[in-house]
Structure 1
Amino acid sequence: MDTQSLQAFLAVADSGSFSRAAEQLHLTQPAVSKRIASLEALTRARLFDRIGRRVSLTEAGRLLLPRARQILVMVDDSRRALSNLSDEVSGELTLATSHHIGLHRLPPVLGSYVKRYPEVRLDLRFLDSEQAYQGVLDGDIEVALVTLSAHPDPQLRATRVWVDDMTFVAAPEHPLARESRVTLATLCEHDALLPGPLTFTRQLILERLARHGLAPRVGQSTNYLETLKMMATAGLGWSLLPDPMVERDIASQRLVRLALEEPAIQRPLGYLVHRDRTLSNAARSLLECLDQEAVANPASP
């Protein structure tokens, strides 16, 4: 089975569009259509229904989808295994990182890595942790640097590298900022600025509140922590943010650390790889750098 046709099939299935798939694969739309037609002729089945501008998988397409992913992962795995026979650290490394890690944690590690291994071509993708998590499961991403789930999929190997101590903050003019003691129950009387409902970070907050039979009153929600910080400084509500991220804002009195008598909520950050995937030399070398960072990082318990 032609792997290029399978790549086109997955691109159309994931994007829901022949034109977006063509952009993703750096092909013309007729070239993508030709590859899909070739695959449909080979499988003797129609894989997509095209109704107006809408493209959706047929029953045959849905049946092929997980198998197509497995075939491409196996091909890539074999390619990497053969390449790893040499000790050369080169080739492409598909690395996903959350925006927070990419901005605040990764630069020193990545800077050292690219100097040491200049022959590696990095395909660096900024994704929400949950998207990166799924990308590793699907085989699209070799290594992901993310907020770690409390209940990781058993197919994944999750390794902690850093720990974020999270801080409850609000603007100086916020009513909670004037309180000498703030309880979780008091927090829930005011609007919260929190990450999206499906994020691992939000789950940490919800679990802490749920232990006390509480739920937050969510005023605004976004997956970008920098945006949450901006809204908190504007006085739109309280938020829970990584301590290093808000130190300067607290020092400049743009934010206030709320006086909660609760143990700090800690957010584990680290890397994910698929247990069944043969890692490239480039990926293994990066993991060595990250393991050294974990040992050297005093914040990691």
Structure 2
Amino acid sequence: MELAGLEAFVAVAESNGFSAAGERLRLTQPAVSKRIAALEQHLGRRLFDRVGREVALTEAGRALLPRARRILAEMDDTRRALGNLDQAVGGRLTLATSHHIGLHRLPPLLRGFIRSHPQAAVDIRFLDSEHAWSEVLHGRLELAITTLGPAAPPLHAVPVWDDPLEFVVAPDHPLAARRRASLRDLAAHPAVLPDPSTFTHRIVAERFAADGLSVRLHMTTNAMETLKMLAGVGLAWSVLPHTMLDDSTVVLRVPGVRLRRRLGYVTHGGRTLSNAARAFMALLDAAAKPGTS
């Protein structure tokens, strides 16, 4: 069974289509179809039902998918282990990060890595933290640089940055003139926050719940820049990282309440990391030292 066929199979299954799989693999759609047809012939089973442009896994396809993922992950692990023998920092480093971290934390680290290791190719994927953790867990990414939540084996989370959060409102919001508010005051007004499934939303909601309060949620979006805009135009109050504050919003001081996130990186404890990943982690570890921004 050729690995190329398994790669095409997993790509079609995860992309829900041959065209999207072709874009992911940098192949034409006919090339993807040819690989799937060869794999189906080899296995003697149809793997996808094709109805118009829609594709769905057959029973055989559903049985093969987790096994195909494991085979591909083991091969990637083997390639990295063998590639590490020469100690060179090269090849492709595939990592995920959020837009916020990518904009506000990573640029100097990326610049330093690219200059120090020109033979390495960096493939950056912008994902929500929870999605990035899932990609690391399933072996599709070596490294995720995200907001950190509770980590359990086989995932390993390392804090790098402390990220204080501030309650913000528009300059003309009813609470803005006071510059101070209680959680009860905020609970009486609508909020815009990240999705309830995110680590950041949980931090906020759990703090309100500790006082027997709930957040009056108006809408959600996981893009911090969008939250900043929505709060700035007066739609609702929000919570933003301290690094994003400017004159478009007013910070509300809430006595006795200090919210903060931990930002850092996540790896899979059972996977062999490439030399490129280890080199980038060394930069992250250096950034975590006191006095380093």
1:298 offset after TM fit, Å?
A: 6.2
Larger deviation: 189-198 or 177-186? 177-186
Map of 1:213 onto structure 2: 212
Q: Does residue 1:97 correspond to 2:97, yes or no?
A: yes
What's 2:119 paired with? 119
Q: Out of 159-168 and 52-61, give the one that drifted further.
A: 52-61
* One-letter amino acid of the counterpart of residue 195, structure 1: P
Give ranges in structure 1 of 5+ residues lacking alignment: none
Q: CA deviation at 1:198?
A: 1.5
The residue that corresponds to 2:47 in the other structure is: 47
Report the counterpart of residue 267 of structure 2 in structure 1: 273
Does the aligned pair in 1 maintain the 2:179–2:251 contact within 8 Å?
Answer: no
Larger deviation: 134-143 or 159-168? 134-143
Quote the Cα distance in structure 2 between the aligned partners of 1:81 and 1:115.
Answer: 24
CA distance in 1, matches of 2:85, 2:120: 16
Alignment of 1:141-152 (within 5 A): 141-149=141-149, 151-152=150-151
Q: CA deviation at 1:186?
A: 1.4
283-292 or 126-135, which moves further after superposition? 126-135
User: Aligned AA for 1:70?
Assistant: R
RMSD of aligned residue pairs (Cα, Å): 1.4
Equivalent residue, structure 2, for 1:256: 250
Letter in 2 for 1:256: V
Task: Give the aligned partner of residue 242 of structure 1.
Answer: 241
Shift of 1:180: 5.4
User: In structure 1, the residue corresponding to 2:255 is in which secondary structure?
Assistant: coil
The structural deviation recorded for 1:75 is 0.5
Query: TM-score, structure 2 length as denominator?
Result: 0.96
Q: How far 1:129 moved relative to its partner?
A: 1.2
Number of residue pairs the alignment of both structures matches? 293
Q: Are the structure 2 counterparts of residues 40 and 297 from structure 1 closer, same or farther at C-alpha, using a change threshold of 3 Å?
A: farther
User: Given residue 173 of structure 2, which amino acid in structure 1 is its aligned partner?
Assistant: H
* Amino acid corresponding to residue 258 of structure 2 in structure 1: A
Q: Is this contact kept in 1: 2:179–2:250, CA < 8 A?
A: no
Identical residues among aligned pairs (%)? 53
Q: Deviation per CA, 1:82-103, whole angstroms, max 9, x where unpaired? A: 1111111111100111101000
The match for 2:69 is 69
Inter-CA distance 159–285: structure 2 relative to 1 (3 Å threshold): same
Partner-residue secondary structure (3-state), 2:159? strand
What is aligned with 1:158? 157
What is the match of residue 20 of structure 1? 20
* Alignment deviations for residues 201-255 of structure 1 (CA, whole Å, 9 cap, x no partner): 1111111111122211111211100010011110111000001111xx1xx3x21
TM-score by length of 1: 0.94
Maintained 8 Å contact 2:286/2:292: no
Per-residue CA deviation, residues 163-202 of structure 1 (Å, 9 max, x unaligned), is 1000001011101112354111211111101011221111
Structure 2: which amino acid aligns with 1:216? V
For residues 180 and 127 of structure 2, the distance between their equivalents in structure 1, rounded to whole angstroms, comes to: 37
User: What is the CA-CA distance between 1:297 and the residue it aligns to?
Assistant: 4.6
